[in-house]
């Protein structure tokens, strides 16, 4: 009798282990999730949008870059086959899942830091929607912090970035710093400013709020973008022709952010992106303009 009970308990334990393994495997192999992102996913884009094949470098340099005007470029997915293969959820976790990454707090100054494995970040932070979170100092985001204690970038991340080719609007001789990021639904960063560059949505949609350098928006640096945006809608601050411009940058699109423009971001889905911070001053072509 005791032997039979032991066998039944052992069998139940094996079955439970197999079930848990199957659940874990399914979680690992699922795709990045697209969300219902109302009320932001249907808002009109206030920026000009060009197909990459239609916006030539001279037009970008002479107008958007020279005048400091943001623009969105679309049609980039066919150029990103190698990168997209590596950033599929399953592939990314296979390559980097057990590596520790540095998360930044999601407030304006991003001063808080936390370390955890990429797998733990994806399964805990990314999987949990940030809708309803108000304190940006206690929500966490992986972007920008890629150099480890030894002063080197991880081999897996380096290999991903090596598949990524600059947009034609980034001069070959310009200094470029790259920021690879993964964010959960309704995560993002409140208003902040920095130098010029591009942010490309590889997976998922990212909603942008932008304001010219001379038009400082009203915001709390420690309140999440999502909560700020809901309040701004209620206050009537987000409307056509207003000081704050909005645009959703979809998969396969990139946005140019001019220097010193205020901008806040809100991921509408589980998102993967690459930002390129460009030092155009080192571009000999710019000296000729």
The backbone torsions φ and ψ at residue 120, rounded to the nearest 5 degrees and listed phi first, read: -65, -40
Q: Which of 43, 107, 67, 41 is nearest to 242 (CA)?
A: 43
pLDDT at 16: 45
pLDDT at 148: 72
> DSSP secondary structure string, 64-130?
IIHHT--EEEE--GGGGHHHHHHTSHHHHHHHHTTSEEEEEESSTT---EEEEEHHHIIIIIITS--
pLDDT at 22: 41
pLDDT at 288: 45
Q: Which of 126, 128, 163, 159 is nearest to 143 (CA)?
A: 126
Architecture of domain 40-287: Sandwich (2.60)
How many Cα atoms occupy the beta-carbon half-sphere of 107 within 13 Å?
13
- ∠ CA 256-230-195, nearest 5°, is 25
Q: Which residues pair with 262 in a beta bridge?
A: 211
* Rounded Cα distance, 187 and 124, in Å: 13
Provide the pairing of β-strand 113-117 with 245-249: unpaired
Q: At what angle do helices 89-96 and 155-162 cross, to 10 degrees?
A: 140
pLDDT at 133: 77
Q: Which of 38, 69, 9 is nearest to 261 (CA)?
A: 69
**Rounded mean pLDDT for each run of 10 residues along the chain, 289 residues in total:** 56 48 54 94 96 97 97 97 97 95 93 94 88 86 81 86 96 93 96 97 98 97 96 94 96 98 98 96 51
The backbone torsions φ and ψ at residue 126, rounded to the nearest 5 degrees and listed phi first, read: -70, -40
Count the helix, strand and coil residues of the chain and give each as a percent rounded to the nearest 5.
35, 25, 40
Q: Which of 251, 68, 57 is nearest to 167 (CA)?
A: 57
pLDDT at 226: 95
pLDDT at 289: 44
Domain-wise residue ranges, the chain: 40-287
pLDDT at 1: 55
Q: Which of 28, 32, 31, 30 is nearest to 204 (CA)?
A: 32
């Amino acid at each position: 009798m005791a032997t039979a009970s032991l066998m039944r308990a052992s069998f139940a334990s094996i079955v439970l282990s197999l079930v848990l393994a199957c659940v874990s495997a399914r979680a690992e192999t699922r795709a990045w999730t697209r969300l219902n992102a109302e009320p932001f996913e249907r808002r009109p884009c206030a920026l000009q949008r060009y197909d990459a094949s239609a916006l030539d470098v001279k037009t970008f340099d002479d107008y958007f870059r020279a005048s400091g005007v943001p623009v969105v470029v679309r049609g980039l997915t066919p150029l990103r086959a190698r990168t997209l293969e590596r950033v599929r959820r399953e592939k990314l976790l296979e390559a980097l899942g057990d590596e520790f990454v540095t998360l930044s707090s999601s407030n304006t100054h991003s001063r808080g830091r936390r370390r955890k494995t990429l797998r733990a970040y994806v399964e805990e932070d990314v999987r949990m929607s940030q809708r309803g979170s108000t304190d940006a100092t206690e929500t966490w985001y992986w972007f920008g912090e890629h150099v480890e204690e030894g002063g080197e970038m991880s081999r897996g991340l380096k290999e991903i970035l090596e598949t990524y080719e600059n947009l034609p609007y980034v001069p070959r001789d310009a200094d470029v710093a790259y920021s690879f990021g993964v964010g959960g639904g309704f995560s993002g960063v409140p208003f902040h400013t920095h130098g010029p560059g591009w942010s490309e949505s590889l997976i998922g949609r990212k909603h942008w709020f932008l304001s010219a350098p001379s038009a400082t928006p009203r915001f709390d640096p420690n309140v999440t973008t999502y909560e700020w945006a809901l309040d701004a809608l209620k206050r009537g601050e987000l409307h056509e022709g207003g000081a704050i411009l909005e645009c959703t940058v979809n998969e396969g699109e990139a946005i140019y952010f001019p220097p010193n423009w205020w901008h806040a971001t809100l991921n509408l889905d589980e998102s993967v992106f690459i930002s390129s911070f460009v030092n155009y001053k080192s571009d000999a072509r710019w000296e000729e303009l």
